[in-house]
Amino acid sequence: MKKITPSQVKKSALIKKVILLFFLCSACMVVFLDITWSYRTFASGMGTRLAQAVIAYHVVLLLGMVAVGIGLGHWVDRMIVKKKSIFSSPNKGSWTEVFMKLWGHESIGDENTPLEIDAVPEPNPDAPEPFELLDLPARRGRKPTFPLERWLPIAVQWENRDPIRDAFTLGELICEHLGTNSDGSPIVSEQTYYSTWRSRAIAEIRSRTKSKISNAHRAAEKDSK
């Protein structure tokens, strides 16, 4: 059985819609021309009022035929879905199959037809059993870790940046001070900075600043004495 890709299904459905729209417009045009011609014929021979009555009867008859056609189409569709009568097991390439495809039932066919399955690779005798795989330890790459000292210059530049003049990004700072992956991305994500190292770095910077100020005051007091 030949596989049908989604693009082929969409293209086929579009073609069927165009064909259906063409026949619908053609039928409406034929009906309109028929009613117009009939009205002029009856009006010229029997008068306007009688022509209007005949055309009204004609329109009612056409609407009845449309309703019958819709009901018949629904009945045929139900027969195809339930695989009744000639639609139970159509032969390959028969008119029944063509009619069913035009009706929009691509997958309907004989139940005894074997379904196509993808090729299954041959088992590898050297491969571990599925249950053995569950017992294997998870292998994860070792995440790079850097001390707080490495994050301090990143925090100083990033927190003191001028959004108007400075065009660098946090990722560029991380790449400059910590390194990059093989694809050029930062070796540590920006989210790690905000979730783990930002608060620690700011606290350490403030602590060192206070210590420097305190040492400066002590030195000034000693000089004054």
Q: Is residue 108 part of a domain?
A: no
The answer to whether the pTM exceeds 0.85 is no
Residue range 67-93: average pLDDT?
A: 74
Task: Give me the count of residues in the chain.
Answer: 225
Given this model, what pLDDT does residue 129 score?
52
Q: Is residue 132 part of a domain?
A: no
Q: Which two tokens stand for residue 50?
A: 């009688």
Q: Is residue 95 part of a domain?
A: yes
Q: Which of 28-42, 50-64, 102-116, 194-208 shows the lowest mean pLDDT across its residues?
A: 102-116
Residue 108, pLDDT > 50, answer no
**Domain tally for the chain?**
2
Given this model, what pLDDT does residue 41 score?
82
Given this model, what pLDDT does residue 6 score?
53
Residue, of 9 and 23, whose pLDDT is higher: 23
Q: Is residue 111 part of a domain?
A: no
Both 88 and 19 in a single domain?
yes
Chain-centre distance for alpha carbon 20: 28
Sign of CA dihedral 204, 209, 212, 213: negative
Q: Is residue 78 part of a domain?
A: yes
Q: Is residue 185 part of a domain?
A: yes
Both 164 and 91 in a single domain?
no
DSSP for 69-115, please give it: HHHHHHHHHHHHHHT-GGGSSPPTT-HHHHHHHHTT-SS---TTSPP
Structural domain range at position 171: 148-224
pLDDT, one tens digit per residue, over 130-163 is 444 444 455 555 666 788 899 999 999 998 888 7
Q: Is residue 18 part of a domain?
A: yes
Domain closes at, from 102, 137, 168:
102
Q: Is residue 60 part of a domain?
A: yes
Domain closes at, from 69, 84, 102:
102
